[in-house]
Structure 1
Amino acid sequence: MKKLGLTSKIFIGLISGAILGIILNNIGASYFKDTILVGGIFELMGQIFLRAIKMMVVPLVFVSIVNGAASISDIRKLGRVGSKTILFYILTTTIAISLAIGLGFLINPGVGLDMSQIDKIEPTIGESKPLVQVFYEMVPTNPIKSFTEGAMLQIIVFAMLVGVGLAYLGDKVKGLIGIFEQLNELVMKIVDFVMLIAPYGVFALIAKTFASLGFEAMGYLLKYMITVILALLIHGTLTYSGLLVVFTKLNPIRFIKKLMPAMGVAFSTASSSATIPVTLETIEKDIGASKSIASFTIPLGATINMDGTAIMQGVATVFISQIYGVDLSIQAILTVIMTATLASIGTAGVPGVGLIMLSMVLQAVNIPVEGIALIIGIDRILDMARTAINITGDSVCTTIVCKTEGEFDEEVFNS
């Protein structure tokens, strides 16, 4: 094991955890399995890893964005990088939701399905915010409160202002800029320490998930699951690989191999935000992206780029509409595409956030929100898969922006 790289160790932890979880799920209830293993050892290992990695998110996002904005002393360049990033995220999210709806109508996952066969769990859906409120709440009234609550959009805006201010002041605050650079080194070193336990944390999280989920109802929802996973695979391979080849001429297979550690953590945690430390480290050290650009695009992507979640929304909307016999007109489909794309801007990259976004989409086209209860039982598995796609999109965007700005190290990528 000592000779294996982090990618191999995380992959081994992920696969072995899934296998053990499925075996335990089929054994049945017992004190040893439910209390000692799943509720004890797996819970302890998984939560320690998850909390350790979440501990780094706020300081890493703040310090890295301040450094990134301060190092891009040319404000016009900062505007260019920001415009390219947001344009990429909006474009790929629109493609993702359109692809999902198209596959949904092609496969028809809800046609002929007897609802009585499906185990329904009562959904708990958070209250959605108007888009106007999302935009003005990006400006923090109390930055300290934003830090304590982990309000990522507000932290990003405040960090951008601090970074731009440092860039303008230049030599006058040279010492302060040096302190932020040293803080960045410190934070990344702590991330290295946390990643030492990543394979074991991934193993525990995956084992607990698969051991706790009931697989009996999955047969009835298989068409829905296959449609979502197929859309995720097509988007991940064709859309992202196509954009990567067109704009960078890089090998997409090599790119995915190098991104595997971050994808493994994303899959196990089901949280784009929790994966930020690993994604940043991977995109800089293994793929060759510029630190100044990556520190801006990755945290921003984890907050507003939800391609995987958009895919789930598209398929789920078609699935639930077919279950309830609601016909989706062209206007309704366009509404779904627009609502899902805009909703992704204001939702945090945390587990289960897709259900909040889905409720907004269903309400927009008058489909019963209660339909979420049909799919919530298996959403955790799909949540893990779509999070891996989300962080892949963030990384592809970062690579393209770095390449077009002439700040990509191909020697690192090809090593």
Structure 2
Amino acid sequence: MLYTVIVPLIFFSVANAIVSIGELKRLRKILMNMMGTFIFSGSVAAIFMIVFVIMFPPTQGVVLKLTQTVTVQSINIGDQITNMLTVPDLTKLFLPGNMLALIFVAILVGIATTMTGEKGKPFADFLQAGAEIFMKLITFIMYYAPVGFFAFFAVLVAKLGPTLFESYVRTTVIYYAAGVIYFIVGFTFFAFLSGKNAGVKTFWKNVTAPAMTALATCSSAASIPVNLQAVRNMHVASEINETVIPLGTILHKQGSILGGVLKIAFLFGIFHMSFLTPFALGSTWLVAILVGTVMGAIPSGGMLGEMLILSVYGFPPQALFVIATISIIIDPLATVLNVVGNTVCALLIARLMAVKKVFIKSTVASI
């Protein structure tokens, strides 16, 4: 049922957040801090995983026969940007696959409502009421979350079980070990930056629900409602929360960045290419950021990200099947890292915005 409320919740939350911000100057500041935080945290994730795969090469002892043929289509960047921000007609705007276009329209609606002034106040109240109603609906749905979690996870284990014990055991262990370490150490580090020990305590107190939802659904979008509520419980201002979480879900995926590095290192290994050259390391960082950031905004962006890896390094089309398999294996934990990465980024952005919060022991004034 989470999928049925995602679209209206995002529309009302984002539009209401823009109206709550009020001034376009303040909105600009939030968006600038958001992009800076996303680049910083994404870079940390990429560098961490690069070091990890250097220490533990994912293809050590692995032998693969690339016999399956795959047709790789060329990437038309212009078309992808158009598809990312627009839809053919209004009805398609409200499909989960067109999330970025929906967010873009919601931002414009919020700006237009703000600029209308007093005459737009009834509509602003409607947006606020809609956001509150759908958040309340989420609380009802989450009563059944434990049942959904165990049912979905049972299906997931049955689906992935045979694959895990074939050619990708070492790769699986490396990603899940790195992911768990990054989840604990990396996110604790970001939470500490946001509010020192109090920030760490607040983060870990509220992170369970979005993490479990992400693990059960393997969907960042389906986790948006629960993540919004979790960040709200962390006392992050609503205009930051309701802007950062929906946009971050599309544009910022730390789990995918870790996965992008792993896929590149894996392909370098099976094709006997040196991963320790300056070009390989630098390009891996950049491509991983693109895979986890820009490509996440495009429908079917995961496949496009994998095609980008192949095109940048000149790997043969058969390699697409290899990294697509890795994507399936790492998806549960990658989704958790994607979702919780935005949770902790919301805390960092609140700190950068100098918003006085319960968990931040600071004397800065609330803006």
TM-score (norm 2): 0.87
1:270 aligns with 2:227: no
1:335 aligns with 2:280: no
1:89 pairs with 38, 45, 52, which one?
Answer: 38
Other-structure match for 1:28: none
Q: Is the 8 A contact 1:320 1:371 kept in 2?
A: yes
Counterparts of residues 246-395 of structure 1 (less than 5 Å): 246-249=193-196, 250-284=198-232, 286-328=233-275, 329-348=277-296, 354-374=302-322, 376-377=324-325, 379-395=327-343
TM-aligned CA deviation for residue 87 of structure 1: 1.3
Q: Residue deviations 1:365-396, cap 9 Å, x none?
A: 12234234345456434111011111111011
> In the superposition, relative to structure 1, how do residues 342 and 200 fare at CA in structure 2: closer, same or farther (>3 Å)?
same
What is the distance in 2 between the residues matched to 1:194 and 1:159? 24
Q: Is the 8 A contact 2:7 2:94 kept in 1?
A: yes
Q: Is the 8 A contact 2:53 2:262 kept in 1?
A: yes
What is the distance in 2 between the residues matched to 1:127 and 1:256? 43
What is the distance in 2 between the residues matched to 1:357 and 1:386? 15
TM-aligned CA deviation for residue 169 of structure 1: 1.7
Q: Is the 8 A contact 2:85 2:104 kept in 1?
A: yes
Q: Is the 8 A contact 1:270 1:351 kept in 2?
A: no
TM-aligned CA deviation for residue 280 of structure 1: 0.6
What is the distance in 2 between the residues matched to 1:350 and 1:139? 9
2:179 pairs with 208, 223, 232, which one?
Answer: 232
What is the distance in 2 between the residues matched to 1:203 and 1:164? 42
Q: Is the 8 A contact 1:271 1:350 kept in 2?
A: no
1:140 pairs with 80, 86, 89, which one?
Answer: 86
Q: Determine what percentage of the aligned residue pairs are the same residue.
A: 23
Other-structure match for 1:174: 121
Matched residue SS, 1:200: helix
What is the distance in 2 between the residues matched to 1:62 and 1:233? 33
Matched residue SS, 2:208: helix
TM-score (norm 1): 0.78
> In the superposition, relative to structure 1, how do residues 131 and 248 fare at CA in structure 2: closer, same or farther (>3 Å)?
farther
Other-structure match for 1:20: none
Other-structure match for 1:110: 59
Q: Is the 8 A contact 1:218 1:378 kept in 2?
A: no
1:62 aligns with 2:11: yes
Other-structure match for 2:346: 398
TM-aligned CA deviation for residue 253 of structure 1: 4.8
Q: Residue deviations 1:14-34, cap 9 Å, x none?
A: xxxxxxxxxxxxxxxxxxxxx
The AA in structure 1 aligned to 2:4 is M
Counterparts of residues 86-235 of structure 1 (less than 5 Å): 86-115=35-64, 129-140=75-86, 142-148=89-95, 150-215=97-162, 217-218=164-165, 220-235=167-182
Moved more, 133-142 or 289-298: 133-142
What is the distance in 2 between the residues matched to 1:125 and 1:197? 42
> In the superposition, relative to structure 1, how do residues 412 and 240 fare at CA in structure 2: closer, same or farther (>3 Å)?
closer
Q: Is the 8 A contact 2:244 2:342 kept in 1?
A: yes
Q: Is the 8 A contact 1:266 1:387 kept in 2?
A: yes
> In the superposition, relative to structure 1, how do residues 381 and 137 fare at CA in structure 2: closer, same or farther (>3 Å)?
closer
TM-aligned CA deviation for residue 261 of structure 1: 0.8
Q: Is the 8 A contact 2:18 2:111 kept in 1?
A: yes
TM-aligned CA deviation for residue 397 of structure 1: 1.2
What is the distance in 2 between the residues matched to 1:84 and 1:224? 35
The AA in structure 2 aligned to 1:391 is V
The AA in structure 2 aligned to 1:69 is I
Moved more, 73-82 or 87-96: 87-96
> In the superposition, relative to structure 1, how do residues 213 and 226 fare at CA in structure 2: closer, same or farther (>3 Å)?
closer
Q: Residue deviations 1:103-152, cap 9 Å, x none?
A: 21221121332226xxx896988857444544454443644432246411
TM-aligned CA deviation for residue 315 of structure 1: 1.1
What is the distance in 2 between the residues matched to 1:210 and 1:306? 23
Other-structure match for 1:8: none
Matched residues, number: 358
Matched residue SS, 2:293: helix
The AA in structure 1 aligned to 2:223 is T
Q: Residue deviations 1:184-226, cap 9 Å, x none?
A: 1211122112112111111100011112333475264232122
Moved more, 65-74 or 357-366: 357-366
What is the distance in 2 between the residues matched to 1:349 and 1:201? 27
Moved more, 335-344 or 286-295: 335-344
What is the distance in 1 between the residues matched to 2:63 and 2:107? 52
What is the distance in 1 between the residues matched to 2:137 and 2:332? 25
Q: Is the 8 A contact 1:321 1:367 kept in 2?
A: no
> In the superposition, relative to structure 1, how do residues 373 and 411 fare at CA in structure 2: closer, same or farther (>3 Å)?
closer
